[in-house]
Copies of this chain bind each other. A is one copy, B any other.
Amino acid sequence: MLGQGRGAGSGAAADARSRRGARGYAGPVTTGKPPTSHDVARLAGVSQSTVSLVFRGAARGRVAPGTQQAVLDAARRLGFRPNADARRLRVGGPRMVLIAVPDIVNPFFARVFTGARGAAREAGFQVVLSVQRDLASVAADVAGQRVDAVLACSLDDGGRPLDDSVPAVVLDAEPPAGMGAVRFDIAPALTEVVDHLHRLGHRDILHLRADVDTSTFRERAAAVDAACAARGMRRARAAASVDRDAARDTARAALARERAAGHPVTAVVCDDDILAVGAYKAAQAEGLAIPGDLSVTGVDNVDLAQALTPELTTVDLPGETLGEMGMRRLLAAVDGADTQPTEVVRLPARLLIRGSTAPPPRRSAG
């Protein structure tokens, strides 16, 4: 029982690569590093390959029951657990892709996830989700290299993108240089929204913005502004976090403000369906009927949109398709030994006109 390798406490550089280095509890039999199958073999008095057989469950009929028990006992005493990295180095295993989203509860991301997961499974990849605000954090998560590919949805361009070593595709966001992306062609859709309202006769609208600084929302704002300007419409603005109650309060304040300023808005263009729900609540609180007194539009077409009364006029963002297409491109890059996918494709988003928009009420002043 001698010959334990280097002296335990003396190593200066010894614990640089400690996996269990800093633990307070070193296990039943104290040894500097986690026990290996060799240690188990030695303790059980068998060869290492026997240990391997036992732990792979391939021992049936090849290792005597008594021996198996001895191996198991020795393993237990040492607290042995097979090293999964070593195992995979030999035998390989299913590959894994990570989907990163900024928020778990938003149903839009659930849809993207569903689409992406389907495509990944079809290709035999495992899928896990990471909830992270920006790309940089995802990069940190991936640094350990346990995933083979990354699909990042709606994460803002946080400076340095991902480690170059793992293929990645960005969804619904500006891709860092050299990365591919699948995104929505959102500007035309918002132009259409404004145009729709304009044709109905609206001239004073409120743009209820999402208080999130990502490119998709910047594009939405730019499109709304440009469309209003081009049509000579007055456009008020307010920003709220993507939360029904916050949106309600913000919208309510903005409605009151504009009314007090002498040019009440007749329509609210919301960056998002959740914000639109807030706008509904605000209208209700202000005693405004939708769409009689106030028209409301959203973006996303989440299930909710049709659960509202009246149903919400909104821009359909095909989240599942987004996830699915992004995943396909990503997986192609994983196997095609090529560089990162680098092209950017845009998915069409189209306006669904429903009951929440109608001509504005007749104005006393005009």
Residues of A within 8 A of B (CB): 17-20, 23, 25-28, 34-35, 55, 76, 78-89, 91-96, 98, 104-107, 109-110, 113, 117, 126-131, 141, 143-148, 165, 244-245, 307, 335-339
Q: How far is the CB of A129 from chain B (nearest CB, A)?
A: 4
Bound form: Cα–Cα A143–B56 in Å: 12
Q: How far is the CB of A341 from chain B (nearest CB, A)?
A: 13
Residues of chain B with a CB closer than 8 A to A245's CB: 307
Given contacts A144-B126, A336-B27, A337-B34, contact A165 B105 (CB under 8 A): no
Residues of chain B with a CB closer than 8 A to A81's CB: 165, 337
Asked if B145 contacts A146 (CB within 8 A), the reply is no
- A-B contacts, 9 listed (Cβ < 8 Å): A79-B336, A79-B338, A83-B89, A96-B146, A104-B109, A126-B141, A128-B129, A128-B130, A146-B147
Residues of chain B with a CB closer than 8 A to A85's CB: 85, 88-89
Q: How many copies does the complex hold?
A: 2
Residues of chain B with a CB closer than 8 A to A80's CB: 337
Bound form: Cα–Cα A98–B80 in Å: 21
Q: How far is the CB of A283 from chain B (nearest CB, A)?
A: 16
Asked if B339 contacts A76 (CB within 8 A), the reply is yes
Residues of chain B with a CB closer than 8 A to A93's CB: 143-146
Bound form: Cα–Cα A97–B71 in Å: 28
Given contacts A104-B104, A104-B110, contact A335 B96 (CB under 8 A): no
For A101, give the chain B residue with the smallest CB separation. B104
Residues of chain B with a CB closer than 8 A to A27's CB: 336-338
Given contacts A20-B335, A128-B128, contact A146 B25 (CB under 8 A): no
